Amino acid sequence: MKPPAAFPWNDVMAFGLGRLAWPPGQFWAATPREIAAALKAHRSAEAGVTDRAVLSALMAAYPDS
């Protein structure tokens, strides 16, 4: 049986710190679920489609003040 692949830390850090421009404190405070949601939203945006559930989650996480 083949061992599982190592977690792609370099790719995840490049996405969070680079593409999203999250400061290190925000990146390291983010949960894996939050990073996955950001990645899903980013992929949807690249495809020209925004998933309503992702948009609602982002709106709830970052409400206008």
pLDDT at 51 (0 to 100): 72
pLDDT tens, residue by residue, 10-22: 999 999 999 999 9
Give the integer Cα–Cα distance in Å for 34 and 11.
Answer: 15
pLDDT tens, residue by residue, 38-57: 988 888 766 666 678 877 88
- Tokens 């790719």 appear where? 11
pLDDT at 27 (0 to 100): 95
pLDDT at 14 (0 to 100): 93
pTM tops 0.85: no
Contact (CB, 8 A) for 16 and 38: yes
- Tokens 């290190």 appear where? 24
pLDDT at 65 (0 to 100): 64
Per-domain boundaries in the chain? 22-61
